[in-house]
Structure 1
Amino acid sequence: MKVTIYANSSSKTTQVATELHTKLVAAGFEIDDQHPDIVLSVGGDGTLLSAFHHYSHMVDQVRFVGVHTGHLGFYTDWRDYEIDQLVAGLQQDNGQSVTYPLLSVEITYADNGDTDTYLALNESTLKKLGSTMVADVFIQDELFERFRGDGLCVSTPTGSTAYNKSVGGAVIHPRLDALQMAEIASINNRVFRTLGSPVIVAPYETITIRPQQQSNFLFTADQLNTQPRPIKQICYSIANRRIAFAQHRHNRFWKRVETSFIGLDEQ
């Protein structure tokens, strides 16, 4: 089995990554940064997002394992003090994995008609700089609403516990193939009206956002922030590729939610 370690630059993470590298080599694993079978992310959820985008071109060929060097994360199954157990688990690996949907984004620019495509693990957002964003929202090519507010967030189920939750979105189990759109500070009064709640769409449905202003918009896809540009439309759908996690421990989603946001064990 070929493995690689993708780590952040903190001193604690560097120490853990060095220890993990030493024990992997001693256990007979081949370290291959170019064509790994498993990507071992050491750090936190942000590190795993970076690892995903680094290897997104071959996401169908790799599986991910997260090692957390801080507090418990949603994408990280192992703690920094469990390196020996992790290596033993990899030695017994049988190739099983659990897969989650990804977000496919196609953006068309208004200034020249060019298009870009992106793949997101968590979410994508669209905001207008300096003033209220006005945009028509289409679900499966039918006009759903004219949105006015700070912006919109479209997330995957795995991303539902991230920025989506902070703007009032619902938490969705990651094994569901669905997209969610959450409003960011929408304007609702006697004149202007939106649904005012998150929208969860079926796997075959698309969400298209068409801004109604000829001005620059800020677009994000996970940790990627693009330069503000005039945007004609953005089309969101479930990607035909999925992210895979090695199924050594990757389960108990609701326990993760409880631990991260409620913390009953600490009360």
Structure 2
Amino acid sequence: MNYVIIDRGDPLSKQLAEQFHLLAAERGLSRNDDAPTIVISIGGDGTLLKAFHTYVDQITDVAFVGVHTGHLGFYADWKADELEELVRMMTDHEPRMVRYPLAEIQVETPEGTKHYLAVNEFTLKGVDGTLVAQININDELFEMFRGDGIVISTPSGSTAYNKSLGGAVVHPSIESLQIAEIASINNRVYRTLGSSVLLPQHHHVDIMSSKDQRMLLTIDHLNIQRSDIRSIRCSVATRKICFARYRPFPFWNRVREAFLDYDGK
């Protein structure tokens, strides 16, 4: 089995990465930064997002394993003191592969169309003021939006920014996208639904700029600022992210431990 480690870069994460390399060598695992089969993320959820975007071009060929070094990571199955057990499980057991939906984002500019994938969410905001945009669902006008911004999240990302905006927590087995508003302004000209909207797999949403404006696109942790965006289309991607589970950790247990009983109490 080939593996690679992406760590957060702090002293503890680096130390754990070196420890993992030693344990893996003893067990016959091979480090391969170019063509891994398992990507080990050591740090937090942000480190997992970094690992995903580092290997996004190989997303159909790799599986991810998260090791958290601080507070509970939503994507992480393993703690810092469990590296030896993790390496043993990786060599002695076949993992259960769990696949989560991704969001595909197509950004149309005068230069052409750029394609991105998101694990958590795609966020669009105005840079110099409120964002003004037309929102179409399945090529039909849905609403005229004016406000701070729009968040479109995946099911696994529904527990992140989307949740803080009052959106629903969605199980990753439901292949969907959720649209949530950030501080919308409602008057006679601009009228929004005012609640989050859940779109099924075969639907898409288009966001079209209604004025000349600089916009900030955030795709997971990646920031892109442009003033020439014509439209943005979001849909459920055909590809998925794969997690290698070496022990059970159900989604609702993650939600409970993340938000309700940190210490399991």
TM-score interval, smaller chain: over 0.9
**Partner Cα separation in structure 2 for residue 119 and residue 250 of structure 1:** 27
SS of equivalent residue, structure 1 residue 207: strand
**Which contiguous aligned blocks of 4+ residues in structure 1 show a shift greater than 6 angstroms?**
none
The root-mean-square deviation of aligned C-alpha atoms, in Å, is 1.5
Q: Which residue is 1:97 aligned to?
A: 97
SS of equivalent residue, structure 2 residue 135: strand
Structure 2 counterpart of 1:187, one-letter code: I
SS of equivalent residue, structure 1 residue 4: strand
Structure 2 counterpart of 1:180, one-letter code: Q
| Candidates 181, 184, 187, aligned match of 1:183 | 181
Q: Which residue is 1:134 aligned to?
A: 132
Residues 105 and 237, structure 1, Cα contact 8 Å, conserved in 2 = yes
Residues 95 and 246, structure 2, Cα contact 8 Å, conserved in 1 = no
- Which stretches in structure 2 are left out of the alignment for 5+ residues? none
- Which stretches in structure 1 are left out of the alignment for 5+ residues? none
Q: Which residue is 1:24 aligned to?
A: 24
The share of aligned pairs that are identical, in percent, is 47
Structure 1 stretch displaced more, 181-190 or 143-152: 181-190
1:77 aligns with 2:112: no
1:121 aligns with 2:119: yes
**Partner Cα separation in structure 1 for residue 257 and residue 104 of structure 2:** 30
Q: Deviations over 1:136-185 (max 9, x none)?
A: 11111111111111110101001111111122211111121000000000
Residues 44 and 67, structure 1, Cα contact 8 Å, conserved in 2 = yes
Structure 2 counterpart of 1:195, one-letter code: L
Residue 211 to residue 69, structure 1, CA distance change in 2 (3 Å): same
How big is the shift at 1:45? Answer: 0.4
Structure 1 counterpart of 2:250, one-letter code: R
Residues 94 and 246, structure 2, Cα contact 8 Å, conserved in 1 = no
Q: Deviations over 1:84-142 (max 9, x none)?
A: 11011101232530001111000112xx2522111111111111112221211111111
How big is the shift at 1:201? Answer: 0.5
How big is the shift at 1:261? Answer: 1.3
Q: Which residue is 2:249 aligned to?
A: 251
How big is the shift at 1:265? Answer: 4.5
Residue 264 to residue 120, structure 1, CA distance change in 2 (3 Å): closer
Residues 136 and 205, structure 2, Cα contact 8 Å, conserved in 1 = yes
**Partner Cα separation in structure 1 for residue 264 and residue 39 of structure 2:** 32
Residues 98 and 250, structure 1, Cα contact 8 Å, conserved in 2 = no
Structure 1 stretch displaced more, 125-134 or 72-81: 125-134
SS of equivalent residue, structure 1 residue 134: strand
How big is the shift at 1:257? Answer: 1.1
SS of equivalent residue, structure 2 residue 179: strand
How big is the shift at 1:188? Answer: 2.4
**Partner Cα separation in structure 2 for residue 266 and residue 2 of structure 1:** 34
Structure 1 stretch displaced more, 30-39 or 123-132: 123-132
**Partner Cα separation in structure 2 for residue 70 and residue 83 of structure 1:** 15
Q: Which residue is 1:204 aligned to?
A: 202
**Partner Cα separation in structure 1 for residue 81 and residue 245 of structure 2:** 19
Q: For residues 156-235 of structure 1, what are the structure 2 equivalents within 5 Å?
A: 156-189=154-187, 192-235=190-233
Residues 103 and 153, structure 2, Cα contact 8 Å, conserved in 1 = yes
SS of equivalent residue, structure 1 residue 235: strand
TM-score normalised per structure 2: 0.96
**Partner Cα separation in structure 2 for residue 53 and residue 174 of structure 1:** 19
TM-score normalised per structure 1: 0.95
**Partner Cα separation in structure 2 for residue 72 and residue 15 of structure 1:** 19
SS of equivalent residue, structure 2 residue 225: coil
**Partner Cα separation in structure 2 for residue 232 and residue 190 of structure 1:** 25
How big is the shift at 1:79? Answer: 0.3
